[in-house]
Amino acid sequence: MQALIAPSILAADFANLQRDVEMVNSSTADWFHIDIMDGVFVPNISFGFPVLEAIGKYATKPLDVHLMITQPERYIQRFAEAGAAVLTVHLEASTHLHRSFQEIKNAGMQAGVAINPHSPVQGLFEVLGDADLVCVMSVNPGFGGQKFIENTYRKVATLAEFRAKEGLSFKIEIDGGVNQQNAVQLVEAGADVLVAGNFVFSATEPLPAIAKLREVAVRNNPSH
């Protein structure tokens, strides 16, 4: 099984959003990763439903929507209607994760849970039987272009070990500071989805940048 590549639209050129969406469509990437920020859970505001729907109008690949907002359960149905295929809520923002997962699945989406760098992955063990995806934040959420946090490798390995031991099938996604170099170690540790923002959209040629990540994902991903 090869890792999936999910370019992060937060790093795209918003003045040329259709162009960048169509670039990802034509690339070897698998998903669009879309960060929704409310300025409360994280110290930044990104975009809401109109922009998400505009992306969905042109995107030909699944929308992987990451909610960095308080009380995300208020908007689950709206995100389904806006075209999300995967909807991820934060451990730190969701009081009743099992219920949120069920509502996300009932709305026809895959259910994901994200965890901030300071939170131990062991805090997820009780809910992982119901999760389709775990998003490990490898930077503090809120802004792109941050330095990758090295402890992420250990967290990925711990999740992969727990998944194998329990016979579960959730995907492990890494979000923040991913590049061609650390992608090798992340995939070897057990990562299944690589979110890349600046590495893709700040590249002189984004398509070859995505292809480099794809090469790493295929070459290094063990069977897990």
Catalytic residues: 35, 175
- Residue found by looking up tokens 């727990």 in the block: 162
Q: Which amino acid is at 208?
A: P
Q: Which residue has the tokens 């995939």?
A: 187
List all residues 6 or more positions away from 24 whose beta carbon is below 8 Å from its beta carbon.
Answer: 7, 32, 59, 61, 210
